Each structure stands twice: as structure tokens, then as C-alpha cells.
Amino acid sequence: MSEITRLNITSIRNIQTVTIAPCPRINLFWGENGSGKTSILESIHLLASGRSFRSVRPQTLISEDSSEAIVYVELADGGRIGLSRRRRQPIKLKFQDQRQKNWENVARAIPVLVLDSNSFRLLESGPKVRRRFLDWGVFHVEPSFLAHWRTVNKCVANRNSLLRQSRLDKSQLEAWDTELIHAAIAVDMARTAYFTRLLPVFQNVYSTLGGEAIKKLTLRYDPGWDSALDFASVLSSGLEADLRYGATQNGPHRADIKVQIDKTPAVEFLSRGQQKILVSSLKIAQARILADATGRQSIYLVDDLPSELDKGNRLAVLKMLTQLGGQLFVTSIDLDAITIDVDQIEKAVFHVERGTITT
């Protein structure tokens, strides 16, 4: 069960030592800017994925006066996950007291989705961000996907290395191409199946939340090459361009989700509030699919939702999140702005000030 029952944080930004027992449903954290409330959410995300949703450099999370940051959680199903990070040293991760080489087991145990100001990057940034969004969902519902995804990355990296050599070793290139083709087709099939499942769920959620662009909005999965052509022939015909650029120009590493209105990127039409409704709908749709496919609920980290949504849309998003049945961690400067009018749902309120949490 994806539910945190105990959370320990040591030396994350301005939080020195904090231990809380989160509520199974809604946890509201309020306080001034810089108080440390976002650092609580950031700590959970770091534990679940090995990275921050605010910074690309996890070492910057360590408090200035400390040499080591620690995050530890206990789960409702008895799971125990711990992470420690010293400056200029790799992260150490343990799951059930066993050292982990990667985040596969932890990510499956605590599937975390974030809604914050950076969520706009899903629409504003390049394909990499949307691939990460798509692959998060595929990873959780298709067990074989990760192995094929890793193979694609390995093949592309080795293929690119060959392409940059002064003299191309064609026999090695053919060997990597053979492995890449097999893995690429498997990755594409898994992504296609997931996207086909995601689209109607998203449309339902987006319509319920009053998405203003519902009639004109289109989402299309782009596999990273011309899907009308066989991928093997695409690699073969594209070799000249690959050699010119020193990199593989076609493949699942170039996949994208096109979010458009009248064939133009939707971000150019939608207001910030409308964008947040769209992104929220996509994240909620992912949680629904995860629950249907695996029986596991997502953990939602919602950071300062009031800053981009009016009260009506904010309450609509929060209400839909609570209906999913998962655990929510929600922050805001103003407690009244995140008060949820659902008396039947259990919730806990925490005040955060200068890295100290009180109930």
C-alpha cells in the first residue's frame, strides 16, 4: 500500500530534524515562504526518485551546516525506505534494509506525482519532459518496459559513440542496430498501449474540471520516427544524417506527446491557470490508470496550488484528488486557501516555521 505512516527528515535545506506521522489521506502544510514546507515534499520526492523536483543538483538539498542529509519513511504495508546523501558522494538507498543499486523497487513502492509551478514544463519544455511523464505511467503498468527502455538507452549511447568515430565500424553498428530495433519496437508498443489507455481517461477528467479547450485540444503520441515506416528501414535510410550529426536522429529516445490546439502547441493559447488545469488532468488520469492496473494509489505532492488557480478551479482539482483515495501532501502560504470542505475525509494540518513543524 502506497501510504507513508512515518516520515523522518534530517538536514534537508532549512529542516534540521523532523519526524511526523502523516495522515493516510490529506496532509496540509502551511507557512511563510522559506519556512521549509516545500522541503518536506521535496524530501519525499528525493526518496522516491533520487532527484528533487526543484533542483537538478540533489547535493544542494543538504543543509549548509551539515555534511549528510537523511530521509526515512515507513509505509502502511510494513515497507521501510531510507536514503542518505553526503556531499560529493553518491546517494545511498535502502529498501527493507537492503542496499539498492537503483530506484526500481522504491519507485514501485511509492509512486509519486507532483503538481507545482514547474508542472507547466510539461507543456512549455521540450520532448524530454513529456517522455518522462509518459514513461512514468508505462513503468508502473508494464513490468517489462524498464528493461527494454534501458536497452534502448544503452544501444543509442553506443551507436552514437560509433557515429562520432573517424572511421565507422559497420559490423559493430549493425550489431547495435539489431539490438536497438528489437528494444525500440517493444518500448513503442508499451508506450502506444499506455497512451491509448490514457487519452480517454484524461479527456474525462479534463472535461469534468471544465477544461476550456476540450473541443479543440488534441493529444498525439509521436514515437520518435515516422510510424508509417518500419523502424529498421528508418535507421538504414537515416544513416547519412546520423553520421553528419554524430547522433541517432530517429528512435524512441526522440518520442514526444504533441499537445495542440488547431495544430499549434496548446501552451501558446492557454492561460497559466488553464495550463495548470490541463496538466492536473493529465496527472490525475495517470493516477487513475495506476490504481486500475495495479491497485496501488499514488502519493500526490501538491506545492502551492493556489498560486495559479482561482478558488473554484483549486477546489475542483483538490476534490478530484481526494476522490482518488491516495495520500496527499499539500502546501500553501495561506491555510484558508487549501482548506478542503470534505468533512468525511481524514486530514491533518501542520504549521511550518523556520524548518520546525507543529500540529
Highest mean pLDDT among 182-191, 205-214, 258-267: 182-191
Confidence at residue 225, expressed as pLDDT on a 0 to 100 scale: 97
Cβ–Cβ < 8 Å for 180, 166: no
Confidence at residue 340, expressed as pLDDT on a 0 to 100 scale: 58
Kindly indicate the confidence band of residue 1, based on its pLDDT and cuts at 50, 70 and 90.
low
Instruction: Quote the mean pLDDT of the chain.
Output: 90
Confidence at residue 32, expressed as pLDDT on a 0 to 100 scale: 86
Kindly indicate the confidence band of residue 355, based on its pLDDT and cuts at 50, 70 and 90.
confident
Kindly indicate the confidence band of residue 120, based on its pLDDT and cuts at 50, 70 and 90.
confident
Higher local confidence (pLDDT), 1 or 166: 166
- What global pTM score does this model have? 0.91
Cβ–Cβ < 8 Å for 141, 293: yes
Confidence at residue 308, expressed as pLDDT on a 0 to 100 scale: 65
Instruction: Look up residue 266 and give its amino acid.
Output: A
Kindly indicate the confidence band of residue 59, based on its pLDDT and cuts at 50, 70 and 90.
low
What is the number of other CB atoms lying within 10 angstroms of the CB of residue 223?
21
Confidence at residue 319, expressed as pLDDT on a 0 to 100 scale: 82
Dist. CA 327–CA 347, nearest whole Å? 10
Closest to 73 measured CA to CA, from 30, 26, 109: 109
What average pLDDT does this structure show over 207-228? 88
Dist. CA 229–CA 244, nearest whole Å? 22
Dist. CA 9–CA 40, nearest whole Å? 8
Instruction: Look up residue 235 and give its amino acid.
Output: L
Highest mean pLDDT among 10-24, 149-163, 269-283, 331-345: 149-163
pLDDT above 90 (res 262):
no
For residue range 284-339, list pLDDT tens digits in order: 999 999 999 998 889 999 988 766 677 777 788 888 888 888 899 999 887 776 66
Higher local confidence (pLDDT), 120 or 224: 224
Q: From start to end of the chain, where are the E strands?
A: 4-12, 15-20, 26-30, 68-75, 80-86, 92-95, 98-99, 112-115, 217-222, 256-261, 264-265, 299-303, 327-332, 347-353, 356-358
Dist. CA 80–CA 95, nearest whole Å? 6
Residue whose C-alpha cell is 520532448: 127
pLDDT above 90 (res 57):
no
Higher local confidence (pLDDT), 89 or 206: 206
Domains of the chain, earliest start first:
1-111+296-359 (3.40.50.300), 119-294 (1.20.1050.90)
Q: Which is it for the CA torsion 307, 313, 314, 320, positive or negative?
A: negative
Confidence at residue 58, expressed as pLDDT on a 0 to 100 scale: 61
DSSP 314-356: HHHHHHHHHHTT-EEEEEES-GGGG----TTS-EEEEEEETTE
